Amino acid sequence: MLLDPAFFCGLKHWPNESILPGNRIIIYNTNMTNSELHPFEHLTPELIMDAIEEQGHLCSGSVFAMNSYENRVYQIGIEDEAQPIIAKFYRPNRWSKEQIQEEHDFSFELAEHDIPVVTPLRDTDGNSLFEHEEFLFTLFPRKGGHAPELDHKENLQIMGRMLARLHLIGEKKLFKHRPTLDVVTFGKDSIDFVSNEFIPFEHKTNYDRVCKELMELMRPKLENCKNIRVHGDLHIGNILMRDEIPYLVDFDDSRLAPAIQDIWMLLSGEEEEQKIQLEKVKLAYQEFRDFPYNEIPMIESLRTLRILHHCAWLARRFDDPAFESAFPWFDQSSYWLQHINDLKNQVTQLKIES
C-alpha cells in the first residue's frame, strides 16, 4: 500500500509530486572510493547475510529490501524455516547502543503488559542488539498485516484504549539516554540546521522570519509539560492491523514527550472531522487513564515541530543516495516556497489557538 508522505510530516497535503518509498534496487557507484561511499553503501548482500548467520540463522540467499529510509530493513529468507525474518540495520552514528537498548527495553516492557507490539528477537543470552563491522542491527519476526482505517468501525476507540495503557507504563519511569521531543530538539535545532546549512539563499530571509515567529508562539505552549515515554512517531504506517488487533511497530523515534504526541497523530482530515475523531479517542482513553485535556492546546505546536523536523531530517540525510533519488524536489525553489507557505499557515493556526 502506498501512503501519502504528507501525513508523515504533519501536513494535510504534500506540496509536490514525490517518489514514494518502494522496493529499491541498491546501486553501488563503482567510481567512488571506499572513503567517499555513504556508510549504507557498504551494506552489501554478503555483509547482510554474514551478520545474520553470525546469529545462528542459515540464510537461504533471499534478501529483499523493504520500505525504509532512516535505517535499512530487509526480509531475509532462512533455510528450513517457513517464515523469513526481518533485519533492521541502524543508521550509523544516529543512536548510541544505550539509546537503542532503551528502545528495545520499552517495547519488551509493553509486551509484558499485553500491549500488542512487534518486539525484537532475543538470542539465548537475552540480547536483542547485535553488531557486525560498522553496523548495529536487530532482528524481528515477520508479521503480516495492513495499515488500519482508523475511522472504520471501532478502530479509534481501540487505539485510544491501547494508548492509555501504553502511557500508564510510559509514565512509570523516564528514559535515561533517549532524547526529549521539545522546541529545542525538534524546533530550534531543526531551524538552525536548515537555515545555516541547506536552504537556498534567496529563501533564507523569509524562512528565518517565519521560524522566529513560530518559536515565539510555540515556547509558552510547550512550557512545563509532563514528558513521558511515548511511541513518538505513531502514523498509520507504524500500526499493523492483524486479526482486528492493531500492533505497534518501529519504536525507532521513541522519546520523552507529552502523551498527546501519540494521540494527535491518529487524527486526520478537516478540523471538524478531527474533533469528532478526538472525541472518540478521549472516551476510550479515559477507560484506563485520565485524558490529558491540558495538552490539547499543544497539538498545533507539536504538528509544527513535526513539519520543521521533517524538513531538517531531509536536509541532514541528503548525502544519502537513497534520499537524493527519492526526494529530488527537495532542493528545488518550488519546494521551499511551499514549505515557507505551510509554516505561515501554522503561524495563523497557532495565533487562532492563542
Beta carbons of 340 and 29 less than 8 angstroms apart? no
Cα–Cα distance between 195 and 125 in angstroms, integer?
47
**Long-range contacts from 314-322, C-beta under 8 angstroms, 24+ separation:** 315/193, 315/194, 315/197, 315/198, 316/193, 317/69, 317/70, 318/198, 319/38, 320/38, 320/40, 320/69, 321/27, 321/29, 321/38, 321/41, 322/24, 322/40, 322/69
CB-based contact 229:254 (threshold 8 Å): yes
Examine the residue annotation and report whether 250 is marked as an active-site residue of this protein: yes
Contact status, residue 119 vs residue 107, Cβ threshold 8 Å: yes
Matching residue, cell 549504507: 40
- Measure the CA–CA gap between 151 and 134, rounded to whole angstroms: 43
Q: Which of 250, 252, 253, 320 is catalytic?
A: 250
Beta bridge partners of 141: 85
Among 138, 137, 136, residue whose Cα is nearest residue 118 = 138
Write down the catalytic residue from 125, 192, 233, 319: 233
Contacts of 345 (CB under 8 A, 6+ apart): none
CB atoms within 10 A of CB 229: 26
Q: How many Cβ atoms from other residues are within 10 Å of residue 47's Cβ?
A: 15
Residues taking part in catalysis: 233, 250
